[in-house]
Amino acid sequence: MGEFSIIDRYFKNIGKSRQEIIEGPGDDAAVVRMGNAEWTICADTMVSGVHFFDSQDAFDVGFKCLAVNLSDTIAMGATPVWAILCLTHPDGNEDWIGRFSDGFHELAEKSAVSLIGGDTTSGPLTVSVTVGGQLYGPPVLRSGAGVGDIIFLSNTVGDAAVGLKIAQGEYEASEMDRKACLEKLNRPNPDLSYVSPLCKFASAAIDISDGLLADLGHILTASGGVGAKLDLSTIPMSHAAKNYLTSNGQASENWQTILSGGDDYILCFCVPRNQIENLETQFPNIQLFRIGEIVEQTGIEVQNASAGLILSQRTGFDHFTKNEL
């Protein structure tokens, strides 16, 4: 999940500087040295009514609370190893907790992640997860993008945002589209196969949690204020997202949902142009969706846009506004 300026303003430099800390706040995860190894550590909190519906299937909540942290870990080029879970529940309902545990367990088992501890308390339904990932090479940071680098996505965007529209009753989709988009919203599936490609070839990376435009913007800012040119015709979308895009409504509003809706939990990463052939040769089985390139001029320029398409200044999810649900 994403960050916000309040963190930078009040919490970024708290505590004593230690030699074990390689990278602190500002990326998808911190990087620390433990013995002879380097590890990433990230944490995310999900609150009922903000990040998931009060009536949400507990299985989905358990699955997703781990998934969002795995996504951050993979974006750093690290392999997820362990997790810590802190669960606050109003009444300790065993049926809910059992379903939650099943969802968490399913993804942990699939990802070879071990739960090593945590805490349970009574109160408003809130889930916090911390994940540790081991690095086998330098961490992939947001700050390494250079002019001329090519921008890639690892998968389609917009499905989760369309799923939210469906869940809120704002968009009526076919049964097939409904099922596909709600699956992406409720059970994002971070892809561990990208860890090695990112480590070897990515100059910068981030996971798409707050929306493509907002999260790509984090890379641009961290990389010294460079810009990006995106080709709208190359943005990867599922059939369900394409159906939404051409549904009733203004094109600008529909594109805003696709590009800024968030909750995709896929990867956006940059690769130097002269390394793309090597990337494709060494990792022929991973998906690579080329969507644009890094340029000198600041900001994000969207090319091939429909006439009159305007993207609003709000480009991602605001964690202090209850507008995600």
**Shared-domain flag, residues 101 and 154:** no
> For residue 303, what pLDDT is reported?
82
Alpha carbons 298 and 229: distance in angstroms, whole number? 10
Q: How many domains does the chain have?
A: 2
State pTM to two decimals: 0.90
> For residue 5, what pLDDT is reported?
59
**Shared-domain flag, residues 152 and 297:** yes
Residues of the chain with pLDDT under 50: 1-2, 307-325
Specify the length of the chain in residues.
325
In which residue are the tokens 């999810």 written?
Answer: 317
Strands 114-122, 79-89: pairing kind: parallel
**Shared-domain flag, residues 210 and 63:** no
Alpha carbons 135 and 149: distance in angstroms, whole number? 24
**Shared-domain flag, residues 116 and 150:** no
**Shared-domain flag, residues 297 and 197:** yes
Alpha carbons 1 and 45: distance in angstroms, whole number? 9
**Shared-domain flag, residues 111 and 176:** no
Domain boundary among 135, 160, 187: 135
> For residue 76, what pLDDT is reported?
98
Instruction: Note whether residue 65 is domain-resident.
Output: yes
Determine how many CB atoms are found less than 10 A away from the CB of residue 174: 11
> For residue 1, what pLDDT is reported?
45
**Shared-domain flag, residues 207 and 250:** yes
> For residue 7, what pLDDT is reported?
64
Token reading at 173? 């989709």
> For residue 132, what pLDDT is reported?
98
Range of the domain at 207: 142-303
Instruction: Note whether residue 264 is domain-resident.
Output: yes
**Shared-domain flag, residues 78 and 152:** no
**Shared-domain flag, residues 174 and 290:** yes
**Shared-domain flag, residues 12 and 107:** yes
Domain boundary among 119, 135, 151: 135
> For residue 13, what pLDDT is reported?
74
What region, left, alpha or beta, does residue 14 occupy, with left being phi > 0 and alpha being psi -120 to 50 degrees?
beta
**Shared-domain flag, residues 181 and 84:** no
Both ends of the chain: CA-CA distance in Å? 15
- In the chain, DSSP assigns E strands to 21-23, 30-34, 37-47, 79-89, 114-122, 126-135, 150-153, 204-207, 227-231, 267-271, 289-295, 299-303
